[in-house]
Amino acid sequence: MTRSTVFNAVPAEQERGEELTRPKNSSVLRAPARGAIGRAMVRSTTVAATVVAFFAACGSSDGGPPIPLDDFGRLLVDAICSNIGPCCQEAGFPHDPAQCQSTAQNELRSFIDENRSPNVTYDADAARKCVDVYTATIRACRDPQRQVNAVCRFVFAGTLQPGQPCTSSQECVPGMSCSPSPDGGAKQCTGWPEVRGKLGDGCHATCTEAENGTSCGSGGSTGPGDAGAPGDAGAPGTATCYTNDGLYCDGAHACARQPALDQPCTFTTTCAGEAFCDNGVCVPKRTSGPCGELNDGCAVTAYCDLTTRQCALRKSIGDPCSSAAECAVTDTCAAGTCRERTIATRSLCNGNL
């Protein structure tokens, strides 16, 4: 149950060796997600929330009591292995309930033990809310993304700040990891704390939350690795600006308002809403015609054909495809055909969280 492998559900088509355009940061118990179950529940992931979700589908009523930490693992295991069968059958994956129980219990036991640290908090109310919001998506066997991020990210949270000594990344505040100090000494929390920026806040990245995940890019005029550390002269701040809030991280490393239609822009500017920067002016995104200099000129209902560099309407379920980018944002490309995303994966059906 490593941080890099657990609670990140792998889409079925990827397990079958087919091409897939995966959304960035597609975790659930924290947004943006960056890692596995460990990180998953500690700040983001798919199966952590996935597991929680199954508990919801298990028959627990919406708005129920808080879930104690000591009950969490047992309920999650039972929820997954007792309820995922129909989803696995629909996706064409084998499912042995007994094997699922054994595998999941072993993994969850280790994961929860790792989080019994005085430097990691567990929110029983958040766990209940996560379960409730997951109920609808799990019953539909759909791949959960943005709709649960806002709730499930708060189930577990590290409390150690940048520079404080740590033993695991779970102990660090969201967005950071536990790494050896620059001088090779004891491990300490490093990276960028997860802070959702407001207008004027110092920033280091611009992110967009979408139906199938969260995508991010570095902000300002410097690239990742060239920006220095928070607090350094000329370095970016710690916040992340979200286009969903109408903001982007500008060249001065501050959250600024996105320019609207017909307003001036540059290639480092993200225009508001369904607009993009074309020849220095924000113009409406297209369903046909050129993709734009940065391939960002296609509307949400369209995709950029990288061969022709032209926008084309996204395809419907059952239509032939070569990548998930060609299908609707709620769908994916499997076996050369657009189909609905599903929560079921071969690993999860076997109890591998």
Can the peptide bond before residue 32 be classed as cis, meaning omega within 30 degrees of 0?
yes
**Structural domain of 26:** 12-158+343-349
Higher pLDDT, 255 or 229: 255
- Highest mean predicted confidence (pLDDT) among 49-53, 142-146, 156-160, 345-349: 156-160
pLDDT of residue 32 exceeding 90:
no
Type of residue at 226: D
125-159 pLDDT, tens per residue? 888 877 777 666 677 787 655 666 777 778 899 99
In this structure, the answer to whether residues 298 and 215 fall within a common structural domain is yes
Shared domain check, 151 and 251: no
- Residue 203 shares a structural domain with residue 306: yes
Domain identity same for 120 and 245: no
Q: Is the pLDDT of residue 29 over 60?
A: no
Confidence of residue 120 (pLDDT cuts 50, 70, 90): very high
For residues 210 and 123, state if they share a domain: no
Mean pLDDT of the chain: 76
Is residue 325 situated within a structural domain?
no
pLDDT score at 232 = 43
Query: Are 147 and 206 part of one and the same domain?
Result: no
pLDDT per residue over 158-205, tens digit each?
999 989 999 999 899 988 899 998 787 889 998 877 889 999 999 988
What local confidence, expressed as pLDDT, does residue 41 receive?
A: 47
Q: Which carries the bigger pLDDT value, residue 108 or residue 204? A: 204
In the predicted structure, residue 322 carries a pLDDT above the cut 80: yes
Q: What is the spatial distance between Cα 182 and Cα 188, in angstroms, rounded to a whole number?
A: 10
Let me know whether 207 and 153 are in one domain: no
- Tell whether 57 is covered by a domain: yes
Residue 282 within a domain: yes
329 within domain boundaries: no
Q: Same domain, yes or no, for 116 and 219?
A: no
- 322 located within any domain: no
Give whichever of 6-20, 67-81, 198-212, 277-291 has the largest mean pLDDT.
277-291
Which pTM value belongs to this model?
Answer: 0.62
Q: How many domains does the chain have?
A: 2
Q: Write down the pLDDT at residue 258.
A: 96
On the question of pLDDT at 124 being above 60, the answer is: yes
- Orientation of helix 69-83 relative to helix 97-114, angle to 10°: 150
168 part of a folded domain: no
Mark whether 151 and 205 lie in a shared domain. no
Report, as an integer, the average pLDDT of 64-70. Answer: 88
